[in-house]
Structure formats: structure tokens, C-alpha cells
Amino acid sequence: MALSGFEGFEKRLELQFSGDDPAIGIGLRRLHFSSIEEVLAAVQCTVVSAVGNQYFDAYVLSESSLFVYPTKIIIKTCGTTQLLKSIPPLLSHAHLLGLKICSCRYTRGNFIFPKAQPFPHTSFRDEAFYLEETLPSHLCYRKASVMPSKLPLQYTWHVFSASEEDQLVMEQKNPDVFTIEVCMTELDRVLGRKFFRPTGDSNSGDVAGKEMTVLTGIGGINPGALICDFAFDPCGYSMNGMDGAHYSTIHVTPEDGYSYASFECVGSIGDDREDIGETLKKVVKVFRPAKMSVSITTCAGIEVWINVKNALETIGLNCRSYVVDEFPAMGSIVFQTFTTRRT
């Protein structure tokens, strides 16, 4: 907890592994819960709720989310967690399962309260150095980049990637898949109050979370998804959605002065699900942020980000800036920023 308020902006780590056939095995899903708790103890957070399907397991954490696939793990944490310290225990547990890391991606915005962050998150330079020293040497294709915008410093996007040579070929087998990371600040105050629990509420976090999902309209963003949600006391909310092999996640810090919400999902171009632009319009209507950023990681070219820009501009958000960068084994990252006409 920062002295001025809770840090909503998340750190996100994605690790890909090889060595286990996901078609016949379960890979990382074989991790015992005690091993997961050990990893999270290094990060300084805990599991508060969990759900799984045939494709992956999703955990709501005391600070954001964890997703475990057979050969991929994604950890997203907020507050003053030490996310990158999860790497050594994860590599150790994966080795015992016969898995070897083949790529790493780390992303985040700028923190609202940067001076409250502990090492190695004291600066992006420190984070990049820690990653360089911690990741094994066979991940030889590495890049660290800061993607700027015309908005305040929170909306600078930081990316570190590392991969082995073989992964450059592997990523092209699924070129239409994209990941979208959305950060929103200055949330509408009336809508933000819906993420505060009523005075005297004695419900569990799970029950209160389900009520918030309905009350806020989050349940309508992807009605077909299986939702695992949790409401914190006295305020704050997290959810993970499972839609087949795809996940989505939302996290909300609603306090005035540093209100923040995030949305993240994975999609595929040309699938039969709702267009991503329409999905983001629903997200914006839940929160009505004054400022937001959208980061899209894809090998599919510019179609996705143009779709997003056109959709958001129809509901009063102006695209203030965009920047594109290329990363080993990841394709392109397009980073866009938006503001409402009232800002």
C-alpha cells in the first residue's frame, strides 16, 4: 500500500515453455497448489478464488490474476507486489516438470506512486537489468522498449521481451491471435461507487463479487464467459472470464483521486465471437474513463488497432496518439491513447 493510495497499474509477466505436448499432457497445470503458493509468496500476494476448464486454470489474486495453461503462465499483479521475483521459482518448478522456458514478455504502464515500488520495480531500467540477469542465456533474442504517448506519464508503455531462436518460428503458427491490455483512469465517479461494498455488508468476497458483476454490467461484456469474481472490502473488484481457450480479466481500484480500471483479453481475428471493438465499447460504458490506453500485441498487422480506434471514437473517445514497435517472437505492439472530449 502506497502512502498516497493503492497502486492500480499492474505489472504483467507472460512466460512460454516447451518440452511437454499440450495435446496429450497438462504441463504446468500439474503444479501442486503448494507450488503456486510458493511462487505467489515471492511476489507477495495470495489466491482468493479459482476456476478451471479443459484449457487452463484461472486464479483471482489478492492483487490481480494468474492464468496457467499447459505451456504458458501469465501473472498480472498490482500494488507493491514484486512480480519479477516469481521467475526463479517458476523456472525451478517448470524444470521439474520437464519444461524449458522459450519466451518471456513483461509489460506495464507508469506507476501512479512510483516511489512506493520495491526493487526490482524501482525503475524500468532496474526491471530490465533484473530480467537480463535472471532469464537463462538461451533466450538470446532480447529487447527492452519504452513506448511514449502524448498523455501523462502513466500512459508510457514499457515492454521487455526475450525468446529463443525456435520461438521465432513457433509464433507464426498462430498469427491471428492478439492480446489487448487496456488501462483506464479518472473513472466516472457515479459508476465508480458501484465498486464499493455497502456499509455493514457481511457477504463473502465471492458473493459480493457476483453482485458487483451484475450491478455494474460487467456480466454483459461477454455473456458467454464463465466468470470468477471477487469484491474486496471496503472497495475494489477483480474478475477472470473463461471463454473456451481464451481468457479475459478486469481489475478495479475505484477510490477518488487515483481511480483505475484495467481490462485484458485474448482474441483471434476472424473467430465467431463478438468483434473486439464492440467488446471495448461495452468496457468503456461500464467505467466511462476520462483517459485510457490500449496496447495490442499481434502478428496480424494493423486491422485490430484500426478496428479499436474506429469503435472507440463512435462513443466519444479521441485517439490522441499511437506508436508501433516490433519485438522478437511477438510481432508488433501497437500502443494507443484516448481521452474523452471533456478532458
Q: Catalytic positions, please?
A: 7, 10, 64, 78, 238, 251
Q: What amino acid occupies position 329?
A: A
Q: What amino acid occupies position 228?
A: C
Is the peptide bond prior to 328 cis by the omega test (within 30 degrees of 0)? no
- Give CA–CA dist 213/308, Å, rounded: 24
Spatial contact of 227 and 213, defined as CB atoms under 8 Å apart: yes
The three-state secondary structure class of 221 is coil
The three-state secondary structure class of 260 is strand
- Give CA–CA dist 331/276, Å, rounded: 19
Instruction: Evaluate the CA torsion angle 231, 237, 238, 243 in order and state its sign.
Output: positive
Q: Pick from 172, 151, 111, 224: which is nearest to 331 by CA?
A: 172
Give the phi and the psi of residue 55 in degrees, each rounded to 5.
Answer: -100, -40
